[in-house]
Structure 1
Amino acid sequence: MAKQSLPQINQLSKYLTKETLLPIYFLCGEDSYTIEQAVDAIEKVVSPLLGSGFDRDVFSGDKSFELNQVLDQALSFPFGGEKRLIEIKNFEKLTDKKSLSGYVKDPASFTVLVITQNGSVSDAAKEPYNLLIERKYLFEAKPITGSELADWFVRLAKKKNLDIPEDHARAVIEVVGENKSLLEMQIQKFIDYSNSGKKLTVEELVKLSSPTKEYSIFDFIGSIGKGDKSKSLEVGFNLLDSGVEIVFVINMVAKFIMTVAQILDLTRQRISENEGARLAGVSYYYYINCKKATFFMSDTRLHNASRALLNADLAVKSSGMDHKTVLQMLISELLGEVATSPLQN
């Protein structure tokens, strides 16, 4: 059976005025950033309707959480204002989720109950989720990726009077990752750096987005692409010392190798660089940098790189090997001599 499509959190704006307030907002999904933003938006509408601080409560759920006690509180009248605001976090940790069903059927008109759940709803046909959906109280926040995420980043920057082209946004996302909170933090850094109002180059954006002051992941990829073992070790160790996770490094190298393999194929087809970047699903800046990786521009080296990445991934997951040792092994296998015989195992 196909998974039921749930109402999306972008529909919430229809219910964010005094006249359209819902008695219950159940916000769930993998996009915690958007859920937090939605909670802030609801609070902004409800806060002027509260009589005092006693009309606002925030609870964090766990296995021992007594949901019925909170629901009884939701049924009690406000201290003097028009509304009572109650927020329950981490609904996924509660053991008595079905207790919410009775309240969903007959919620208090003077209470706004905001419930957040980390993660998606596994079975929308079960209570209380089916009742929440039926009454249009449930909203899901799905994570966005690719061009959709880049477009979101561009629009967020524009709200703060910062002009970032979509291609540059993609380059920043490739460095920072797809965490919206981290991406938002980069925008403030960009604003502080460009206080003169000048438009930042993609190189400046990437440098500012780097998790370490000395080197970025792009520096590591660049040294790998040139076949420079000593520089790769220097940059790689610097990244680990600065708190970058070995899994992130391996994933970025895997993406790099996959892109180089695509470039090799697209170049043979005489595809233009702009079109190639689009087909590869990466920014033009990243595509061009990968194209400079002449060391890996052969099927033999790419095949060897795939094995090196597999070995590194297995070392991280199935052994207690020190992360610097794993990185050293990865670099040695990536940049070492490879046999060219077709009989090689």
Structure 2
Amino acid sequence: MPIYLYWGEDDFTLTQAVNQLRKSVLDPNWANFNYDKIPPDQPDAVIQGLNQALTPPFGMGKRLVWLVETTVCQQCSENLLAELERTLPLIPEESILLLTTRNRPDGRIKSTKLLQKYSVIQEFSLIPPWKTEELVQRVHAYSREVGVKLTDAAAQLLAQSVGNDTRQLLNELEKLQLYIGDSVKPLNEKTIATLVTANTQNSLQLAAAILQGDGVKALGLVADLINKNEPALRIVATLIGQFRTWLWVKLMVSAGERDQKAIATAAEVGNPKRIYFITREVQSLSPNQLTSTLRVLLELEFELKRGGEPLATLQTKVIELCQICKN
């Protein structure tokens, strides 16, 4: 199928996929003639891309037309929709039309449904930072690809250090690969702690500090995160996800549920074995306290979206959150 739609916030892996597609379809000697990268600010970008995709390639290889950060899956006029309906079925096999966007395609609109019919759709979303099992699984997958063996503890520490930053994960694994050379011995957590750039001041640690009511530690973590240019709204999204998980587990345990699989399913926890540890984490807090934290977090998200200064807004609400958990 000559039409591809790549979407998601993981810019690094999406860009890797685009480069892989380019290498697979373009002849290097004819790439200047057969490759078009059309930015979103160009007038009639989609129409221009469709016209280029209908043009047969010159020389050897195929033609690749890339519509960068297109909004056609979020909004589409009737005239543009008509042009898509007319053109998409006619794109020849020798031409590849690639559409990329950071935003999730809106499945309710006709243009997205049309692309679902005619294109290969691939998602490149970041793993939420609170889904620690998925982050560890990704570390194992990429370490096998790079050729670095890790113990389970080392993989967990590496996942904690890099979070959902795919670029940093690959950079660290390549560094570790150079370090081990031809050795086949798995690296342990001590080696990871020594060699990996420690980004341990992450939003999950902030959530843990808040849960413990440790205001001093929490404020220090907020400052570190902001100094490392971590977006404030991303910090809040992680906190909301973590506290929502804690609340779900607390509510179900308080209601008398003892089936860890049932609790894990309701709380969207991938590994039911984690329920035991999560239950212990929230043992000293009441459901009302955890409900109150979500209210404060939603207020924090609202204030940031209204343009509140990130550091000061986070500090104020983090103090309030710590007081709720401490009391």
* Matched-pair contact (CA < 8 Å) for 2:7–2:123: yes
Q: 1:112 to 1:334 in 2, by over 3 A?
A: closer
Residues 187-198 of structure 1: matches in 2 within 5 Å? 187-193=170-176, 195-196=179-180, 198=186
Q: Which AA in structure 2 matches 1:306?
A: T
Residues 150-229 of structure 1: matches in 2 within 5 Å? 150-164=136-150, 178=164, 182-193=165-176, 195-196=179-180, 198-201=186-189, 204=192, 208=196, 211=199, 215-229=201-215
Q: Secondary structure at the match of 2:110?
A: coil
What's 2:296 paired with? 311
What's 1:336 paired with? 323
Give the C-alpha shift of residue 29 in structure 1. 3.8
Matching residue within 51, 65, 71 for 1:92 = 71
Q: Secondary structure at the match of 1:303?
A: helix
| Percent identity for Structure 1 against Structure 2 | 16
RMSD of equivalent CA atoms? 4.8
Q: Structure 2 regions of 5+ residues with no counterpart?
A: none
Matching residue within 87, 97, 103 for 1:113 = 97
Q: Which AA in structure 1 matches 2:119?
A: Y
* Matched-pair contact (CA < 8 Å) for 2:70–2:99: yes
1:122-172 Cα offsets, whole Å, 9 max, x none, are 357836853x555x5343437485566654442222100123567876776
Measure the CA separation in 2 of the matches of 1:273 and 1:46.
Answer: 49
Measure the CA separation in 2 of the matches of 1:285 and 1:190.
Answer: 28
What's 1:233 paired with? 219
1:86-138 Cα offsets, whole Å, 9 max, x none, are 222233257524323333333345433333355454357836853x555x534
TM-score, with length taken from structure 2: 0.67
Aligned pair count reads 308
What's 2:313 paired with? 326
Q: 1:330 to 1:303 in 2, by over 3 A?
A: farther
TM-score, with length taken from structure 1: 0.64
Q: Structure 1 regions of 5+ residues with no counterpart?
A: 1-21, 341-345
* Matched-pair contact (CA < 8 Å) for 2:57–2:94: yes
* Matched-pair contact (CA < 8 Å) for 2:4–2:119: yes
Residues 24-63 of structure 1: matches in 2 within 5 Å? 24-30=2-8, 33=11, 35-48=14-27, 51=30, 53-62=32-41
Larger radius of gyration: 1
Point out the more displaced range, 314-323 or 279-288: 279-288
